[in-house]
Amino acid sequence: MDSAEKSANKISSMGSGSIDQVDDDDSPYARKDNKGLKSSISHQDSDLHSRGWDDVSVYNAKKKNYAWFQAPDGKWELAKIISVTGTESLIAFSETKVLKVQSDCLLPANPEILDGIDDLIQLSYLSEPSVLYNLQYRYERDMIYSKAGPVLVAINPFKTIPLYGDDYMQAYKRKKIDSPHVYAIADTAIREMIRDEVNQSIVINGESGAGKTETAKIAMQYLAAVRGGSGIEYEILKTNPILEGFGNAKTSRNDNSSRFGKLIEIHFSEIGRIAGASIQTFLLEKSRVVQCTEGERSYHSFYQLCAGAPPSLREKLNLKSAHEYKYLQQSNCYTISGVNDAEEFRIVVEALDIVHVSKEDQENVFSMLAAVLWLGNVTFQAVDDNNHVEPMIDEALLTVAKLLGCEAENLQTALSTRKMIIMNENIIKRLNLTQAMDSRDALAKSIYSCLFDWLVEQINKSLSAGKRLSGRSISILDIYGFESFDVNSLEQFCINYANERLQQHFNHHLFKLEQEEYIQDGIDWAKVDFEDNQACLSLFEKKPLGLLSLLDEETTFPNATDMSFANKLKEHLNDNPCFRGERGKAFTVHHYAGEVKYDTTGFLEKNRDLLHSVAIQLLSSCTCKLPQIFASSMLSLTEKPAVGSLNKSGGADSQKLSVMLKFKGQLFQLMQRLGNTRSHFIRCIKPNNSHASGIYDQQLVLQQLKCCGVLEVVRISRSGFPTRMTHQKFARRYGFLLLDHVASQDPLSASVAILQQFNILPEMYQVGYTKLFFRTGQIGKLEDTRNRTLNGILRVQSCFRGHKARLILREMKRRIFTLQSFVRGQKDRKEFAILLHRHRAAARIQKRIKAINVRKDYKKLYDASDVIQAVIRGWLVRKSTEGTCLQRFKGNKDDVVVNKTYLADLQRRVLKAEIGLREKEEEKEMIQQRIQQYEKRWSDYEQKMKSMEELWQKQMNSLQSSLTLAKQNLTVDDFSDPSVNLTSANNFSRRNSNDAAGASSNEMSAGLSLISRLAEEFEQRSHVFGDDAQFLVEVKSGQAEASLNPEEELGRLKQSFEGWKKDFGARLRETKVILNKLSSEEGGSGRGGEKVKKNWWGRLNSSRVN
């Protein structure tokens, strides 16, 4: 956003209240002047009344003030008042011009601080020049959007400006920007739909070239970006290239003019997301298919197909270039500056794919387009003297028949004949050249119209919301604006009638309903008069003498002509103030936007829009799918003939709804749908007719502002209460801001308490019977307070929920970590087992590989040693036998003589070697026998060793058990006589037995030491014998090396063991005898003690007796 727009936003935030602070006596904007203005509204000059302004008083010109002056050419000029003399003022304008004018012709200018303000309502002086200047000021600074109360004014910049994109969308969504924009209107519609649960509509209006289509696309893009998410919004946006390609065309006023009206209804789910959409179209301009004026084009789809079709499709459709088709040759305009038709064709095909139109259906669509183009090239030839004609069978006719899937003869018949019913008999009538050409054009128009309707139907199927539909929707109406050309026909008649209806909806929505609501609710409100177009609508719709009724009545008569229709209008409607008859076939209607002169030429034929039964039968007989669908839709629209229809007079065999009746029905459905929604209005303004940026035509803009009713909106909204809310809803929405005991009161009391608590000035609102009414901007203050409070509540809730979520998350993390530790441990154990297995396998492989390498190295060394030995031995042999062994003859190199002595010596050596070899073989056999004997003896020895080991083990076990038993007996005997703590009466017996106990303990300790020595000796000897035997076994098996004879050593070890065994057994027996003796002596001493005790006890008792 540039600095100029920022400054304008600051100005708008200051409002008109800041102007009241100017107290300069020389300023026309001082408070006393404002009061004067307010008091003199009802006493305005008649000239100002004619301009439609009632808030500008007769201007009291003062020196050094600025005022608006209307120049002779009609333009408004900002002039400086030099002097004032009586009723005249001397002004200077355009820097050098000075003029004396009447003071009552001047209109006050607003102060500079209001230059570029974004809301026209906030202008101190509301007049035509003030509004024009403010819009021009913003337009020159690329601020193309302005507000006129609840209406958005959009001026077409005719260039790209940086006011769009994701950043701006997010800014308007978050309310960071409050300047006027299409995004702001769309965002308001979304918020009110969700908040109030009321369907919304955005009505976009303006004349051709004002930017209605682009504005509608911008609104759809915002809705898709903010409330998308399901993917359907992408399909909705992709419908634009399809509808523009098949429904838009280049006109003298606009390079991309919509030649139809459309209502896009976007459905939302229960959570406020886009769930689907549906599209309704109105009044496609079918005549453009067969007629184009100079400098214009037919529909874009024809040129896109000719420029962008791939070679395979061109060959299949027999396509030519655009200038070879007669329907497209009429205007001699084939391209649009800056537009690539081939690229646009690719975009249309991509969009058809996205909205789920199959490739087969796409080929059928392109076939229908090509068939329409080739129909224009069909020519006729005379067949008799009565000027009857029939189509020539040439390339054009054959191509059309092929594309439609019908026989060429049937097509020829359908274009040159007409079937009529007279006296219940079918009559075939041949056509002249004019009738045949009309029949051909009617077929082309019908095919294209049905194709357009079929595409819209396919798009609606793709965008269907289904079960996700919640009943809430936002409708975007993009419809043609008011049109007035040099020659105006039925198309302009329908378009302007639709605009009259929309203007009444606009008035009804903003003016009439508002004032009626004020009266019903008892609001102190000064009624404001506004222009109502009900008289013009009555001219159109009154029965039976309205324009529409007379047109349909005249259409039913076969002999009626355009002149007879014009005469009938003049006869019945001349007294109507909105109608004026003209010469010839023309008449004039006084619309809300001005007078329009219509030419009735072609009215009746266009209103009939007949396609005779022969052509419908032709389409139904085609093998291609689309013509059959077109024929079915045409038959479904056919009505039974009414009284006085063409049937009785030999006309067509069937009659369908006229164009006006069908359009009137669609229009009433549209108005009913808009009436059930809360409307938001966008008025698009075209700043100039040359489509150039930076040019601002005051007269053109002013005319459009009047046509759109913008000035009336500003005038009424300034003095009204645009925001209203019921007491219940207001208390429910803002009651939580009050204390509990106040909020619990009735809705009216609670509402008043809210207003008083937040210091809303009494003049800024009024309390009605059922609603509260607010001036502009007051509800925003309450919304800001409510949002801040809710944000605080949500922040506390978010903190608590965050704390709770963090606790849950911490516990979940702990559990997850525990589970992960188990899983990772199991995984690591498995991986370790695999790794260990691989490590062992690798070690084994390495061992094998190393062994192989060592053997290879050893073999190489061994082979090298053999070679070296062979070489050395050969060298030694040759050296020892040199001169004695071999002698060479010089004559023949192959003859060798061997010395006889050396030969005999060699023979002896050979004999000696053979003898030695035999001896070695005999010795080898003896060694093998010995080895076998040794192996046998070794096996016997192993068996003996095993038996001896078992015997030794048994003996050792018996000795160990005997020793253990002896230990246990000794322990039991040692602790079997418990010590008893006797009283002083036993001291005597203890002293008598002290000596015997000492001797017994000495002997017992000697026995224990003897047993412990025997046990230690047993353990040592057992280990020694075990180690020796194990060592001898290892030596015998070759596991250990030692220079001794294992068999001899084993015999010695056996003898030593037997000797020790006998000796240890004898000592063990002696030890047992000693232990038995000690135990017997201990037992005797025990019995003697008892005897002594008894004696002591007896003596004690006897002494007591004595």
Catalytic residue check, 481: yes
One of 265, 390, 483, 491 is an active-site residue; which one? 483
Q: Quick one: which of 1088, 1090, 1067 has its CA closest to 999?
A: 1088
CA nearest 90: which of 65, 98, 105, 75? 98
Secondary structure (3-state) at 778: helix
Are the CB atoms for 308 and 345 separated by under 8 Å? yes
Catalytic residue among 116, 209, 546, 709: 209
- Write the CB contacts of 114 (distance below 8 Å, at least 6 apart in sequence): 11, 19, 122, 123, 124, 134
Confirm whether 208 is a catalytic residue.
yes
Question: Cα–Cα distance between 272 and 268 in angstroms, integer?
Answer: 5
Note if 199 is an active site residue. no
> Which one of 213, 269, 367, 449 is the catalytic residue?
213
Is 213 part of the annotated catalytic residue set? yes
Angle of helix 128-139 relative to helix 698-708, nearest 10 degrees, comes to: 110
* Core vs surface per residue 345-372: b (16+ CB within 10 A) or e: bebbbebbebbebeeebeebbbbbbbbb
Tell me which of 257, 269, 417, 679 is the catalytic residue.
257
Told to judge if 821 belongs to the known catalytic residues of this protein, a careful annotator would answer no
Look up residue 509 and give its DSSP letter: I
Helix, strand or coil, per DSSP, at residue 230: coil
Report the distance separating Cα 110 and Cα 1040, nearest Å.
124
Owner of token pair 């698009």 = 684
> If we measure between CA atoms, which residue out of 72, 109, 111, 69 comes closest to residue 88?
69
- Residue 519 φ/ψ region, left for φ over 0, alpha for ψ in the -120 to 50 degree band, beta for the rest: alpha
CA distance 26 to 397: 83
- Spell out the alpha helix ranges (H) of 91-203: 128-139, 166-173, 182-196
Q: How far apart are CA 1015 and CA 633, in angstroms?
A: 122
What angle (nearest 5°) sits at the alpha carbon of residue 777, between those of residues 773 and 783? 85
Annotated active-site residue in 89, 208, 496, 677: 208
Distance CA 917, CA 924 (A): 10
Identify the helix (H) or strand (E) that includes residue 280: strand 274-282
688 is catalytic: no
Active-site residue among 247, 481, 720, 1007?
Answer: 481
Cα-flanking dihedrals φ and ψ of residue 191, to 5°? Answer: -65, -45
Q: Which of 127, 134, 254, 776 is catalytic?
A: 254
Among the listed residues 57, 201, 258, 607, the single catalytic one is 258
Nearest Cα to 776, choosing from 149, 84, 21?
149
Q: How far apart are CA 250 and CA 240, in angstroms?
A: 16
- Per the structure block, which two tokens stand in for 127? 């007049």
3-class state of residue 726 by DSSP: strand
Catalytic machinery residues: 208-209, 213, 254, 257-258, 481, 483
